[in-house]
Structures are given as C-alpha cells and as structure tokens.
Chains A and B, each alone.
Chain A
Amino acid sequence: MGQAGVTRIYTKCVKWVFRLASVVLMAAVAATAHAQAPIRIGASVSMTGQYAELGQAIHRGQQLCVKQANDRGGVLGRKIQLIVEDDHSQATDAVAIYEKLINQEKVELVFSPYSSPITEAVANVTEKYRMPMVAAGAATTSIFKKGRRYIFMLLSPAAVYLEGLIDVAAKRGLKTIAVLYEDTLFPKAIALGALELAKKRGMQAIVVEGYPKQTKDFSAILNKVRAANPDVVAAATYFDDSVAIIRQMKMAGINPRMHAVTVGGDLPKFYKVLDRDAEFVYGASQWLPELVTLRAGGLIPIARQYPGAQEFSEDYAKEFPGVGLSYQTAQGYAACQILLDGIRRAGSLDPDRMRDAVLKFEGNTVYGAFKVDADGFQVAHKMVMFQWQDGKKVIVWPEELAAERPRFPTPPWSKR
C-alpha cells in the first residue's frame, strides 16, 4: 500500500472518529438537557369557591411534597415543576384545565383536584390520556368502580365515614337517627353508608334529607328534624354547610344526644367560627396530626403506621407557619408521595409501569395504610372519629386509639 492509500485510510479513520464523537457528544448533550428538564406536574386546585378552604389545604400538601423531593435532588434525576390553575370549585372548569395542562402545557403527570364531583369529571380526561392519578380528595366508591385503569384511591371510602358515630351511638343504646346530606356525589355516598351501618346496628333512620349544593337556609329540613326528635343527627357535609347546620340547629333548639358533621368539621376554622357551639360536635377524620404521638391504650405508639408523619408535621409548621394542619394537607402530601414513589419504582414515567408500581404498593405513608385492589379502590386505610372537647379535636373512636371517652350525651346549647 502506497503513501496515498495510507493517507486515505487515515483520513477515513479520522472522519469516523469525528462522526462517532459527534454522535456521542450529541447524545450526551441531549441526555444532559433531558436530565435537567423538570418533570412538569399539572393540577387544578380549588383556590376559590365552595371547596376553597379544603382545596388550598390539599395544595399545601402537594407543595410541601414537591419542595422536599426537589431539595433531595428530584426524581429520576429531574426536578419537579408544579403547574396549577384555580378551578373555582367547578367540575367544568377543572375538566378544561386538565385538557389544557395535558395538551397545551404538555405536563407529564397530574395531581388530582379536590372533591368527588370534580375528581369524577376529571378522571374521564386523565383516563383518556392515560395519566396515572392518585385521588387525594375523593372517597366516593363509584369513581373507582367504573373500569378506569389510571386512577387510585388514597382515602377510606365514604361509606365508612360515620362508622365511629354509629358504633358509639349503638353501644350507648341510641335508637333513632336523622341523616342530612348535601345532594352531591360524596356526601350522598357518606349518607347512604351511614344508613346501611345504622340499619345493621338496629338503629332507625327517622329523617333522611338531601339538600342542594350551596344551601344556606336549612330551616325546612331542621323543622322536620325537630319534629322527629332523633337521638342522633348525622350531617354529611362540606365546610360551609357544616357551620350553617350547627348554627341553625342551635337557633332551632335542636339538641340530639349526639351530632356529627363530616368534611369541614375537622378544620381549625370550624372551631374559630363556631367557638363554644363546636363543643361536643363529632367529626370523622381520615387523619389527624395527633395520631403521630398517640399511643394505643396509652402504651403502644401507633406512629409506625404513619411513617414520616412527625417530620411532615414539623416541616409543615416551618413551611406554613401559623396555618393549621388538617388531614386534607396530609392527603395532598401522601398522594404526591405515592405518585413519586411509583415513578421511582417504575424507573420511568411510562403510565403502565407506574400503574403496576402503584398497584403493587402495600405499606404505610404519612397518611396511614395504603393498598388498592385491581380497580384502584382503597382497601387498607382506616378512619378515626373525634369530638371537639375544650377547643381540641380529641380522638374518641376507635376505642383502642381513644385518649378520651366521648362526652356523652351532648348537653343543652346553653351549657356548652
């Protein structure tokens, strides 16, 4: 081979080396750019409207979870960017927001909105685009029993919200109950569950009344309650109606031996607004900050069932000083935990691999036990019941967790 041949081969080799180097360099640049691009997670949040108080509480949990994940370097080497819009507590707005987030903003993942009606509507969108969604604010069973593949339930189902109330009432020999509910998906599911539980315990429902969303005047319903004089009044509510019902029960002089509200009754604002009138009111809760330090029978710490909850409470107090910690915030946080854990275990954002990862998860989060069945329906999480006692939410059920006994029966309004 002559000099020219050697030169030709040399030139070819150099060209190949450069080509290869270029390819490697381009791949490296692309990989670096990808590694640095944040994972965009979108959500609609009820910043205003009927669910504002609760929606904002959920959102604080999401924010804290994202901040902590980013402080630890993100997920799969990528930071997380949270993109939210106000749905004004309206399902139609939320549907439009998720369509926009997915199609225009090109978010790669979503957090859930707050409330069963909005989640139900939004689930059609997230399902269409195969977006795994851990429902942080929906406990209505039917949402998870429609063959959807990418929605997962975090909360205990609505049907067991008032199990503690019915159990305590039945054990004390109470026989009659009035069940009031906002006639929307979730409160109605709570009411139907309560009626079923009451029936099983031999209690008779003597008033069952639904009312439209945003009802302010409950006088017609409460007149029926007063006439029937039930032992127990159970109201499946959100925040505004829970306050209105308590106020108007007092005005009407309705004084059952036990009375409970559901969502909203656990918020610190509930006591601030009602003051002493909140005393003796029972509420159902999916989670309470007190669970972190509680001991069953005064002896056995149950914090093990809520791993990381102590740190969550402390970090929350630093991040949102002066803003009371409610269970909705723990829900927003835990739903985010489950989703991020799903990404890590799936090793990618592939919806089917993430779905498998979430379906296989069986364990405890800040929010308590988590395990879903093949439909994504929650089967492990447990409720607690509290009663407002001297301005504090005191867990009174189940008995093994109860630091105090229920103050029973509820005294006349003038003696609260």
Chain B
Amino acid sequence: MASQRADLTRSLAAFLAAVALSVPAAAAEPAKPYRIGVINEAWAANHPAVEGLKAGLRERGIVEGRDVVFDIHFTRGKPGAADAAAQELLKAGVDLIFTSDHAPTLAARKATKSVPIVFTLLGDPVAVQMVDSLASPGGNVTGVSSRNTDLAPKRMELLKHLVPDVRRVWFIYYGSDATDVAALATLGDAARRLDLELVSRPVNDVASLSRTLKELKPGDALFSPASSTLDIPVAVLETALASRIPAVFPSSLWVTHGGLVSYGSDFRAQGVQAARLVAKILRGAKPRDVPVEGAENIHLALNLKTVGLLGLTVPRTLLFRTDVVQR
C-alpha cells in the first residue's frame, strides 16, 4: 500500500511537472521536450555541473527525454571554441543555454540577447558585467555564482595556515578570463595581509603555461584558477604532485584526485542549485526577473595522502573544520 501511494505521488508529481512545462506550448498538442543547450570547458559530456543540473531537474519531476533533451557541447579547454558552440546551439534552436565558467557564458551572451542563459561556476558575474546586479540581472542571463572571488582570500589564508613556511604564491590564469583578471586585486590584498608575495602570471597558450610552471622553485605554492581554459587546473595539479609543491583549488573535485586543499563550492551542487532557476525559466519566468543565486555548498576539503607526500602537519583546528577528508 505504501509503495502504491509512493507510485501515485510520483506519477502525480510527474504529471504536474509535465502540465506545468507544457503551459507555454499549444495546449492541444503533446508537449515537445524543451531543448537545453550546454556549453562548458570539459573533455566529456559528464561535467559535474551538468550531472547536477540533470539530477536537480529530475528532483523537480522534469524527466530527460520526455520533458527536456540536452545538446551538450564541451570545448576541451580550447580558447575560442565556446563561440562556435554557442552558434551551433542557436542554429539548433535551443530553448535555454546552460553554461559553466566564464568563456562559455561570455560566448553564449555574445551570441544571443533573447535565448535564456543560466550559468554556473562564474566567480563574480557583476564584476565581469554578465548581469546588471545579482538581485536584478537585467538581460537574458542569470545563474549560480560560485562566489569564487569572494572566497579567494579565505583560500589563500588556508594555504598559509597549512603551509606556514610558504612565501611566494603563484596565480597562473588564462589572460583573457575576465573573472580571473577581476579577482587579481582581491588576491593581491589577501596576499599582502598574509605577508605573502603573489606572483600573478597571465598565460595565453599551452607553451607559455609550461614555461611559467618551470619557473617554480621549492618553497613556492600554487593557487589554481577555477576555469579550465588551457587545462590550467590540471597542469597545476600535475606540477604540484610531481614537484611536491603545495596547491590550493577552488573545489573539492580536485582534492579527491590529489589536490592538497580546496575551499569553495561543489561543481555538482551548483548544477543541482541551477536546476531550480532553469525550471523557473522553462515554466515561463524571464531571466531578468530571476535573481542570481550564490552557491550554497561551500566546502573545505583536504587530501591527507598529499599532506603526507608534502610532509606537512595539519593543524588540529584546521582538521576539525574540514568538510571533506580524502584519505
């Protein structure tokens, strides 16, 4: 009986979701699934933010295949590739574009002023003029801010706390990423307060990235950017592990694969959170009226294996505050 009730509840929820989604369409015809275009900088279709979006929509009774279909473009971190992806999505007639990181969001916004865009993994959407304000985005763009810029000082502080001897911190970022450029002042202030030297280096191709990473010396640390353009976070991770250099990352995903420490929002959770905004827009809300949300899941993650590799000792106070411990 309980299972019948659960089935009935599920069916009812699905029916209501389908009805709600079909309102803008012609009432007499069966509802055609909405087409959601996706652009991100991943190397496969399973970017955690996309997986989170799908899960979040499912939780709202919006079923893939029946209510929505996805047209996923991933650019493999290639600069400029997002522009072509945005054009292709518009040609395909997508109803909404879901983006992660700065370059894909910028490409989508340049490509259309009318198709709704919902972003994730964007550090400071106001600073990079993606929206007018968080409360009233103004155009066809809204989304979930990773709060990456706001969290950068805390990230720097954690690095110093974990590696008290560190003197010089390298921030290597893609030169055309407006989010990272906008974060420079905040990072510089944080470094000064902690008596650290910040070495900020914009790079524009893989060769300059490799050259820059070779300049690191023992005693240095790395501060990874969030965006995957040029695959910089992976280069930071590989260099950090190979050369035993402490590195701090924006999300726990990196820590589960060997990164030392991270402080920031979970990529998948941002996708789940963004599903709420996507559902609102599919049901008829205008992006300009849907406030940008700050990421809700901020986690401190620590990889104890890497701690051991670097010969560090984790202060007990820091260990108590850690949300995700990778052993």
What residues of chain A have their CB less than 8 Å away from a CB belonging to chain B? 294-302, 304, 399-400, 402-404
- Interface residue stretch chosen among B182-190, B252-260, B276-284: B252-260
Hey, what's the 0/1 contact readout for B236-267 against A, CB within 8 Å counting as 1?
01100100000000000110111000000001
With an 8 Å Cβ cutoff, the count of chain B residues facing the other chain is 22
B44 close to A (CB within 8 Å): yes
Q: Please state if B45 and A299 are interface contacts (CB–CB under 8 Å).
A: no
B236 to chain A, nearest CB (A): 11
Q: Contacts of B48 on A, CB cut-off 8 Å?
A: 297-299
24 contacts between A and B (CB under 8 A): A294-B44, A295-B44, A296-B257, A297-B46, A297-B47, A298-B40, A298-B43, A298-B45, A298-B48, A298-B74, A299-B42, A299-B47, A299-B233, A299-B253, A300-B234, A300-B253, A300-B254, A300-B257, A301-B43, A302-B257, A304-B238, A304-B241, A404-B45, A404-B46
Name 12 extra pairs, CB < 8 A, besides A301-B234, A400-B256: A294-B44, A297-B46, A297-B47, A298-B44, A298-B45, A298-B46, A299-B43, A299-B48, A304-B258, A399-B51, A403-B46, A404-B46
A171 to chain B, nearest CB (A): 12
Q: A298 contacts which of B47, B238, B254, B257 (Cβ < 8 Å)? A: B47
Q: In the complex, which residue of chain A has the Cβ closest to the Cβ of B46? A: A298
Q: In the complex, which residue of chain A has the Cβ closest to the Cβ of B228? A: A299
Residues of B306-322 contacting chain A, CB below 8 A: none
Q: Please state if A298 and B42 are interface contacts (CB–CB under 8 Å).
A: yes
Query: How far apart sit A302 and B254, CA to CA, in the bound complex (Å)?
Result: 11
Query: How far apart sit A300 and B233, CA to CA, in the bound complex (Å)?
Result: 9
Q: Please state if B258 and A295 are interface contacts (CB–CB under 8 Å).
A: no
Q: Please state if B43 and A295 are interface contacts (CB–CB under 8 Å).
A: yes
Known interface pairs A299-B234, A299-B253, A300-B234; A403-B258 also in contact (CB < 8 Å): no
Q: Contacts of B233 on A, CB cut-off 8 Å?
A: 299
Indicate the member of A294, A299, A304, A404 with the most B CB atoms within 10 Å: A299
Q: Please state if A402 and B234 are interface contacts (CB–CB under 8 Å).
A: no
Q: Contacts of A297 on B, CB cut-off 8 Å?
A: 42, 46-48, 51, 253, 267
* Secondary structure dominating the interface of B: mixed
Query: How far apart sit A48 and B174, CA to CA, in the bound complex (Å)?
Result: 57
Q: Contacts of B42 on A, CB cut-off 8 Å?
A: 295, 297-299
Query: How far apart sit A302 and B253, CA to CA, in the bound complex (Å)?
Result: 13
A379 to chain B, nearest CB (A): 14
Query: How far apart sit A296 and B51, CA to CA, in the bound complex (Å)?
Result: 12
Q: Contacts of A403 on B, CB cut-off 8 Å?
A: 44-46
Query: How far apart sit A302 and B74, CA to CA, in the bound complex (Å)?
Result: 18
A222 to chain B, nearest CB (A): 28
B152 to chain A, nearest CB (A): 20
A96 to chain B, nearest CB (A): 46
Hey, what's the 0/1 contact readout for B66-110 against A, CB within 8 Å counting as 1?
000000001000000000000000000000000000000000000
Residues of B7-61 contacting chain A, CB below 8 A: 40, 42-48, 51
Q: Contacts of A404 on B, CB cut-off 8 Å?
A: 45-46
B206 to chain A, nearest CB (A): 14
Q: In the complex, which residue of chain B has the Cβ closest to the Cβ of A403? A: B44
Q: Contacts of B51 on A, CB cut-off 8 Å?
A: 297, 399
Hey, what's the 0/1 contact readout for B219-238 against A, CB within 8 Å counting as 1?
00000000010000110011
Query: How far apart sit A156 and B48, CA to CA, in the bound complex (Å)?
Result: 27
Q: Contacts of B44 on A, CB cut-off 8 Å?
A: 294-295, 298, 403
Query: How far apart sit A299 and B259, CA to CA, in the bound complex (Å)?
Result: 13
Q: In the complex, which residue of chain B has the Cβ closest to the Cβ of A294? A: B44
Q: Contacts of B43 on A, CB cut-off 8 Å?
A: 295, 298-299, 301
Query: How far apart sit A297 and B238, CA to CA, in the bound complex (Å)?
Result: 17
B191 to chain A, nearest CB (A): 27
B257 to chain A, nearest CB (A): 5
Query: How far apart sit A184 and B48, CA to CA, in the bound complex (Å)?
Result: 41
Q: Contacts of B267 on A, CB cut-off 8 Å?
A: 297
Query: How far apart sit A399 and B44, CA to CA, in the bound complex (Å)?
Result: 13
Hey, what's the 0/1 contact readout for B143-186 against A, CB within 8 Å counting as 1?
00000000000000000000000000000000000000000000
Indicate the member of B42, B43, B254 with the most A CB atoms within 10 Å: B43
Query: How far apart sit A301 and B258, CA to CA, in the bound complex (Å)?
Result: 11
Indicate the member of A296, A298, A301, A404 with the most B CB atoms within 10 Å: A298
Query: How far apart sit A301 and B51, CA to CA, in the bound complex (Å)?
Result: 18
Q: Contacts of B74 on A, CB cut-off 8 Å?
A: 298
Indicate the member of A297, A301, A399 with the most B CB atoms within 10 Å: A297
Query: How far apart sit A301 and B45, CA to CA, in the bound complex (Å)?
Result: 14
Query: How far apart sit A403 and B233, CA to CA, in the bound complex (Å)?
Result: 20
Q: Contacts of B257 on A, CB cut-off 8 Å?
A: 296, 300, 302
Q: Contacts of A295 on B, CB cut-off 8 Å?
A: 42-44
Q: Contacts of A302 on B, CB cut-off 8 Å?
A: 257
Q: Contacts of A300 on B, CB cut-off 8 Å?
A: 234, 237, 253-254, 257
Query: How far apart sit A404 and B44, CA to CA, in the bound complex (Å)?
Result: 9
Q: Contacts of A402 on B, CB cut-off 8 Å?
A: 46
